[in-house]
Structure formats: structure tokens, C-alpha cells
Amino acid sequence: MKKYTDKGKKDTRSGFGAGLLEAGKADGRIMALTADLKGSLKMDAFADAFPERFIQCGIAEANMVGVAAGLAISGKIPFIGSFAEFITGRVYDQLRQAVAYGKANVKIASSHAGITLGEDGATHQTMEDIALMRALPGMVVLNPCDYNQTKAATIAAAAWDGPVYIRFGRPAVPNFTPEDGGFEIGKAYLLSEGKDITLIACGHMVWEALQAAETLESEGICCDVLSVPTIKPLDEKAILASILKTKAAVVAEEHNRTGGLGEAVAALLARTIPTPMAFVNGKDLFGQTGTPAELLHAYGLDAEHIADAARDLSARK
């Protein structure tokens, strides 16, 4: 299998900040709004470079969504940023009515997503956000895997005409994709090729899937590894091409089992190629307090559990 190297751990939220700045330099219509979380969202560089295009909305997320929708109607391209829990659950009605329903060109920057928010605990962690955003008609849903891909995804989101949800995280994680790899909304990326099992992952779980694939290869189980940073619209062609070869799939995501990438893939396969599947996800649970590493282990969101799922699936394929 193709080997990947961690080129230095970086948080994906910093990839968003770098992408926002680069997009802002290229297009004067881009604006940034945040709900008292400029530093956490890594919007500092954009705010310093373009103070006239940055709005600090305070802890008023619902108002921020309305302001952004108004800016979009006037021809601006607003990025709104907050923690994933607050930018989805707290303002779902506003996102539905003011953004999705009107197809407003608003980009929703969702930081500190998933269980890896860590010590802030269950009230701030969200494992339900992908399900919420997938359910909104016309909403693009992105969950890139590392710093480089998050930067590229942010730039791609700025160029996309319509609402986009970009999900990224707090902790420093392996940065392993090419710096010049680019990003295409709606495209999955085949990172490694095998014939026995397809490992499908998004976000932080892509690196874990690659590590699991290395372990499995040493045991004679060769895996396709598909990085799926665009959860909606799903790259059905790439997923089906892999499944036709391997006849089995493990889907790994830092999200609860309901409404996430796993269910999106399962729905695709159910209507096209019914396929044996296994799922590595947060099951049906809220988060709890702990370090990111402790929580990933406790919830089974790591390479070890992906490899175990693949072994079991291989045995019953």
C-alpha cells in the first residue's frame, strides 16, 4: 500500500484560518463573522488584514446567521464561525430559514467538532452536526482530514455558489496530504489501493484508517482507503468503484451512527450494490470530559478498532 508520513501535527482549525486568509486576498467579497471566538476559529490573520471585512458579533449566533444571510443577499460571501455545537444546534432554525431555504451563499465554519473537543465536555462537544446539516436541502457538507486539506477545502468553499458547512477540529493531528493537493467539492480521494476491504473515512479518522490499513496489510488483508471529505454531495462513483472490487466496507467517522457518513454510504449501497458493512463511530452516545486521546480510545475511534472491524468483516464477507 502507499505509505503516508505525518509532516508535523497541526490543528485543522488553523488550516481553515489559512484558507480564509488566502481566499480573502483573492476575493474582496469575502467577509468573516464570529460569535466571540475569533482566536478559537483562527480568524485573527483575516481580521488583521481586512478589518473592514470582519464583524465580531458577540455571543449572538442566531443574529450572526441573519446578518450573514443579509450580506449574502447583497453580494458578499460571508464565512460565519463558531463551535460546531453552537453553529448547528443553537441556530438550526435560522440556518434552515435564512440560509438553506433561500440558498444564501453563506459558508458555515464549524470548529471544535466531535469528541476531540476534549476537556470542555458533552455540552460543547457535538457528534450530531453532520446529521443536522445533511438534512438541510442544498447544503454542502465538508469534513476534511488534515491542515492541508482543510485549507484547500476552505478556498474551494469560497468559490462554491451556495451554502457550505465546513467541519474541523481543535487538536493538532497528523498533516499528511500534499500541500498542493487541491480540493474538489464532491470528490473522494483514493489514498491507497487493495482488493479485500474498502476503508472509508472522513475528518480525523482518515489518518486512523491509513494506520489500520498498514496493520491489516501485514496480516494479508489489503485495503482500499477512501478519504471522503465531501459527505454531501457524496462521490458515489468513487465509492461504488471500490466496492465493486472489494465487496465489503468499513466506514469510520468521528460522529454518531445516526445520519453521518456511514448512513450515507449504507443508503447508497442499499439501493445499488447491497454490501456487507461495518461502522466505527460514536454509536448513540453523548460525549464526556477527557483528553482527546482518552475519548477517542474510550469511544473506539482509532486505528485498532477500524482494524478489528475489518477483520470481522473479512471473516464474514
Question: Greater confidence, 182 or 233?
Answer: 233
Given a cut of 80, is residue 1 above it in pLDDT?
Answer: no
Whole-number pLDDT of residue 317: 79
Given a cut of 80, is residue 173 above it in pLDDT?
Answer: yes
- Give 2's pLDDT tier (boundaries 50, 70, 90): confident
Instruction: Provide the residue range defining the domain that includes 19.
Output: 10-173
Considering the chain, what is the average pLDDT of its residues? Answer: 97
Tell me the average pLDDT across 35-49.
97
Co-location of 203 and 136 in the same domain:
no
Whole-number pLDDT of residue 267: 98
- Give residue 149's region: left, alpha or beta (phi > 0; psi -120 to 50): alpha
> Please, where are the H alpha helices in 9-97?
12-26, 44-49, 61-73, 84-88, 92-94
Are 188 and 226 in contact by the 8 Å Cβ rule? The answer is yes
Whole-number pLDDT of residue 164: 98
3-state class of 279 per DSSP? strand
pLDDT in tens, 122-140: 889 999 999 999 999 999 9
Tell me the average pLDDT across 285-293.
92
Q: Could you tell me how far CA 291 lies from the centroid of its own chain?
A: 20
Co-location of 136 and 97 in the same domain:
yes
Counting the structural domains of the chain, the total is 2
- 61 is known as an active-site residue: yes
Does 102 reside within a domain? yes
Could you give the angle at which helices 261-271 and 236-246 cross, rounded to 10 degrees? 70
Co-location of 166 and 217 in the same domain:
no
Are 68 and 105 in contact by the 8 Å Cβ rule? The answer is no
Q: Which residue of the set 61, 128, 208, 253 is catalytic?
A: 61
- With 0-12 CB in 10 A as exposed, 13-18 as middle and 19+ as buried, what is 215? middle
Residue 253 in grid coordinates = 467517522
pLDDT in tens, 260-284: 999 999 999 999 999 999 999 999 9
Does 285 reside within a domain? yes
Co-location of 22 and 157 in the same domain:
yes
Cis peptide bond prior to 233, omega within 30° of 0:
yes
Show which of 147, 173, 199 is a domain's final residue: 173
Does 155 reside within a domain? yes
Are 61 and 88 in contact by the 8 Å Cβ rule? The answer is no
Whole-number pLDDT of residue 3: 86
Does 2 reside within a domain? no
* CATH number of the domain where residue 137 is located: 3.40.50.970
3-state class of 77 per DSSP? strand
Show which of 111, 140, 173 is a domain's final residue: 173
Q: Could you tell me how far CA 28 lies from the centroid of its own chain?
A: 26
Tell me the average pLDDT across 65-81.
98
Distance CA 156, CA 174 (A): 22
What percent of the chain is modeled with pLDDT above 70?
100
